[in-house]
Structure 1
Amino acid sequence: MLEVKSSAVNGAKDLKQSGSAVAMVLPGRPSLLRLTALILILSGLVGLAACTGSGDSAGRAGTATCVAPGITETEIKAGVLFPDTGPFSYSMRAFRAGIEARLGEVNIAGGVNGRKIVYTWRDDASDPQVNLTAARELIQKEEVFGIMEGLGAVSGSAQYLADLDVPVIGLGAEPVWAAHENMFTWHNYTLAAGSSTVWGDFIRGTGGTRAAVVDVALNDAVQDYHRQLVDSLWAAGVSVDINFEVTAETTGFGALARQMKAANIDTITGVVTPDVLAQILPAVRAAGVNLRTVLLSLGYDRDLLKKLGPVLAGTSIYISFLPFELNTPAHQRLLTAMARYSSQSEAPEQESAVFGWLSADLFLRGLQAGGACPNRQSFIQGLRAVHDYGGAGLLPAPVDLAKNRGQLTDCYYFVRVSDDGRQFVPLQSAARCGNLIN
């Protein structure tokens, strides 16, 4: 380039000395028009390389120089933020394993536009304040491009990440997922207002009439979900006679069970973690409570059956994806990838593994939608324009990401723990949906 620049200067001097507006060809010197054309061509090639690198015909950009946090010529760095400790940790045990499986699968095939996807992670301990601190570390210290989040405390960092236009992908278990354009989920479990009849209809269909709604005492997100669940039960004609917040360490479960007996409770539902449920159900049975239904939002985990199967016998759980028991090609693909690329989970058939897999899959879809040289804005705009996200075949129906923000998703698969506590039994072959309640 220095030689080209020198020739251009000499050519300009020649023109000035000639006093003519027409380029003159002097012996041994290129014309100004030819020099200008050469400079423009070289500049164009440099600009093209900056945007797309020396990619191949498939659009790979392995040598591109893109100006965006977390992106180098060979890698894209993501952040993972989830409760590895704290009240929700048991329900998120396989979250990282699912992410590793999906990223391992794409990386062995060459990555996205020639870049491998790597990640670094932080534990938010189900605490919103810890979540915010950890998110700042991922952005400021680790310089990640975007973040995949677990459940329980996302509200802590939501505004901070939105202010920076950082893409956030994960399970929409809190109302805050509907508040920001940069946050993407395949399933909105909870909104700040409104509900669905889907949970109440299920309980009513099993003969439930009087419910105790029992929640782990955590944060505002649980309270929002509690309100939503109570509204669903009342709409279906199921009375809510007991509302109770519990902890594994301090709650007197025997006294709670006797209270349920006195109130003729026949249904237990709410946000209850497995360690708490393992104390509630034996106490309830010992008190002689005649239960028709125990309906939970967490606990679809074959490894859990090995430890608590007999205790959980007869319990129903609702999930937002196709049950493993259907054994579709999508399930086989996930399980194969987990066996090859992740070693964290002894039993891969876990709800949290699917959450991790879908989080990574949706993150990859955003990178593809963002172009050969993605930045945070192109990622967000491109992913928001996706109308047919299918979750790699694991979702009951394609999701329109242009429209699902702020819309409660009310279609679920319901599974039941068998009477011997050894397996999950799907209760229908298709997802069951309710009617929205305003």
Structure 2
Amino acid sequence: MTATALAVTVVVAGACTGSGADKNGGGTASACTSPGVTQEAVKVGVLYPDTGPFSSSFQGFRGGITARFALENSRGGVHGREISTIWADDQASADSNRTEAQRLVEGEQVFSVVEASVAEGSSALYLEEQGVPVTGVGPSVAWTQHRNMFTWSSLLSQGAVTSAWGQIAHNLGGTRAAVLAVVGVPSSQELATTIAASMQREGIQTVYQNLQLDPLLSMTTLARAIASSKADIVTGVITPEIWAGLAPALRAQGAQITVPLFPNGYDKETLRSGGSAYAGMYVAQVTAPFELQLPAHQEFYAALTQYAPEVSTQQGQLALNGWLAADLMLRGLNAAGACPTRDGFIGALRSVLQYDAGGLVRPAANLTDYTLPSACLNLVRVDSSGQNFEVVGDAPICGQVQPVS
């Protein structure tokens, strides 16, 4: 996983029924004339970085989408329609993100969009104005500002923060935090600031902060600064590779780091590449840990094997994020009925109180209030060998969602 990763489809069975106009559909639901909807298929756009410096980090995401839609198509699709995907490459560029969103909506006439990008904020207002449903990963505040944008994982909110990050650090014995974020990835800086605010609410002071961290910076220099601050927590949003270099440098400087806690890096491939350097690292995320081996995990693995064999590591968060983004899109299409409209999709999915994707989202996400961050986090830790993750605790850690000034 690189620094830029932070940044990170059947035939109608019968006649359509129902009525009502979609402001973007150009007709009535009984005629099934919404954009991208035919008797045979629903056209869904996928907007993500397929080329450029972010591309390698998003290949797992594409594989997860491919597998989930292919599995649904093998079962007959949604209301007898195949899911057809149109892929769009935004190159992780703000300009390209907006341009490609317009191409999908106005040129390709897609019904909806699945999205994962570090530049999604550039097209967010346009997609909302067009009434286009969007599902995807929620790494930025845009996902809590637009009613048409759906995610199971809102780690950021403009007006609120969960105390869960602080509770985890406090329970692990942390008292003083060094907060880091990678330069050039605004969402990483936003999330690092949010984590720091959560910790502050639990009485944990930020004693060192670098939100413009250059991955080429000497790890010795960085470790010396953190050690001088007497921090016992290192947190924020950095790549696992940075932590693999920083951890031994901190030990060499005599730093006593007891809580290395991050929202990213939950990937078996990462451990294979870094060895024992990752031992003791904690990762918190909103999905059920792979180590629980739920039936939904087994379905996910089997679908990746059959439909996306290019995904080399099945126990990877990026592939799971792609799977969930597609699954959430399917949930909305099913709820929208036999002749879906964009408005109908958004209204139906916004009424879902519990979305858990068969247990993969733990606890279930409440989609009715999109303005608040996820309150609960699942915690895993890298074992002493540095080769495996292990689940910490019997249940997610749930904090209080509190306003921020």
Q: Does TM, normalized by the shorter one, top 0.5?
A: yes
| Code of the aligned partner of 1:378 | G
- Which residue number in structure 2 is paired with residue 214 of structure 1? 180
- Which residue number in structure 2 is paired with residue 304 of structure 1? 270
Please tell me whether the aligned partners of residues 325 and 426 of structure 1 are also in contact (alpha carbons under 8 angstroms): yes
SS in 1 for 2:121: helix
Q: Rate the CA distance shift 1:420–1:248 in 2: closer, same or farther, 3 A.
A: farther
SS in 1 for 2:83: strand
After the TM superposition, which residues 169-188 of structure 1 pair with which residues of structure 2 at under 5 Å, given as runs? Answer: 169-188=135-154
- Which residue number in structure 2 is paired with residue 354 of structure 1? 320
- Which residue number in structure 2 is paired with residue 406 of structure 1? 371
Pairing 1:94–2:94 present: no
Quote the Cα distance in structure 1 between the aligned partners of 2:88 and 2:307: 20
| Code of the aligned partner of 1:279 | G
Tell me the CA shift for residue 277 of structure 1: 2.7
| Code of the aligned partner of 1:136 | Q
Quote the Cα distance in structure 2 between the aligned partners of 1:157 and 1:249: 28
Pairing 1:139–2:105 present: yes
Q: Rate the CA distance shift 1:204–1:90 in 2: closer, same or farther, 3 A.
A: farther
List gaps (5 residues or longer) in structure 2: 1-13, 19-29
Match of 1:417 among 372, 382, 386: 382
- Which residue number in structure 2 is paired with residue 316 of structure 1? 282
Please tell me whether the aligned partners of residues 138 and 152 of structure 2 are also in contact (alpha carbons under 8 angstroms): yes
Please tell me whether the aligned partners of residues 390 and 398 of structure 1 are also in contact (alpha carbons under 8 angstroms): yes
> Deviation per CA, 1:88-135, whole angstroms, max 9, x where unpaired?
556534111111111111100111111111212223343333322221
Match of 1:193 among 159, 184, 193: 159
Please tell me whether the aligned partners of residues 17 and 338 of structure 2 are also in contact (alpha carbons under 8 angstroms): yes
SS in 1 for 2:303: helix
Compute the RMSD of aligned alpha carbons. 2.1
Pairing 1:343–2:309 present: yes
Pairing 1:434–2:394 present: no
Pairing 1:269–2:235 present: yes
The range that moved more, 116-125 or 362-371, is 116-125
SS in 2 for 1:148: strand
After the TM superposition, which residues 372-411 of structure 1 pair with which residues of structure 2 at under 5 Å, given as runs? Answer: 372-402=338-368, 404-411=369-376
Please tell me whether the aligned partners of residues 200 and 206 of structure 2 are also in contact (alpha carbons under 8 angstroms): yes
After the TM superposition, which residues 146-295 of structure 1 pair with which residues of structure 2 at under 5 Å, given as runs? Answer: 146-247=112-213, 249-295=215-261
TM-score relative to the length of structure 1: 0.81
Pairing 1:122–2:88 present: yes
| Code of the aligned partner of 2:381 | R
TM-score relative to the length of structure 2: 0.88
After the TM superposition, which residues 6-155 of structure 1 pair with which residues of structure 2 at under 5 Å, given as runs? Answer: 49=15, 51=17, 66-84=32-50, 89=55, 91-155=57-121
Larger radius of gyration: 1
> Deviation per CA, 1:254-274, whole angstroms, max 9, x where unpaired?
211111121112211001123
| Code of the aligned partner of 1:434 | G
Q: Rate the CA distance shift 1:302–1:202 in 2: closer, same or farther, 3 A.
A: same
List gaps (5 residues or longer) in structure 1: 1-47, 53-63
Tell me the CA shift for residue 388 of structure 1: 2.9
Q: Which has the higher contact order (CA 8 A, sep 6+)?
A: 2
Tell me the CA shift for residue 136 of structure 1: 1.9
| Code of the aligned partner of 2:119 | A
Q: Rate the CA distance shift 1:206–1:68 in 2: closer, same or farther, 3 A.
A: same
Q: Rate the CA distance shift 1:182–1:360 in 2: closer, same or farther, 3 A.
A: same
Tell me the CA shift for residue 315 of structure 1: 0.4
> Deviation per CA, 1:30-71, whole angstroms, max 9, x where unpaired?
xxxxxxxxxxxxxxxxxx94658xxxxxxxxxxx96212222
Tell me the CA shift for residue 87 of structure 1: 6.4
Please tell me whether the aligned partners of residues 189 and 211 of structure 2 are also in contact (alpha carbons under 8 angstroms): no
Please tell me whether the aligned partners of residues 248 and 275 of structure 1 are also in contact (alpha carbons under 8 angstroms): no
Tell me the CA shift for residue 294 of structure 1: 0.6
